[in-house]
Amino acid sequence: AQTVTQSQPEMSVQEAETVTLSCTYDTSESDYYLFWYKQPPSRQMILVIRQEAYKQQNATENRFSVNFQKAAKSFSLKISDSQLGDAAMYFCAYTSPYGGSQGNLIFGKGTKLSVKP
């Protein structure tokens, strides 16, 4: 079964600095998709960035970028120029159109990010 592991329950970063959140996953599929979600105190689930496994180029969305290492099954999120509004829970998620999960998102347990002014 596919699993997603976020090994950092909490992280802290100084405003304007850079922080990297870790995520590893386990799968036997070769085609799949990976996502990072942000959940602020309002509890909404906001899609931050996404990556297709067959694309070697790392996805980038403004200050957010990923380091996708397919062989290592690693999908870390880098937040540059951190802002106070980045403080939230961050969830890594996996899905595959094949196999038992078929489109169901599998989430890690999350990393709580604090941003210090």
Partner 1 sequence: NAGVMQNPRHLVRRRGQEARLRCSPVKGHSHVYWYRQLPEEGLKFMVYLQKENIIDESGMPKERFSAEFPKEGPSILRIQQVVRGDSAAYFCASSPRDTGGLRNQPQHFGDGTRLSIL
Angle, CA 20 vertex, CA 37 and CA 56 arms, to 5°: 75
Integer Cα distance of 17 and 81 in angstroms? 5
Positions in 62-91 near partner 1 (CB under 8 A): 91
Q: How far apart are CA 117 and CA 106, in angstroms?
A: 33
- The answer to whether residue 95 forms part of the interface with partner 1 (CB under 8 A) is yes
- Residues from 21 through 50 that contact partner 1 (CB under 8 A): 31, 33, 35, 43-45, 47, 50
Q: Does 102 bind partner 1 (CB under 8 A)?
A: yes
Count the site residues for partner 1 by CB under 8 A.
Answer: 23
Is 5 a binding residue for partner 1 by CB under 8 A? The answer is no
Q: How far apart are CA 117 and CA 64, in angstroms?
A: 19
Minimum separation from the CB atom of position 53 to partner 1 (A): 10
Q: What is the largest CA-CA distance in the chain?
A: 45
Binding site for partner 1 (CB under 8 A): 31, 33, 35, 43-45, 47, 50, 52, 91, 93, 95, 97-98, 102-110
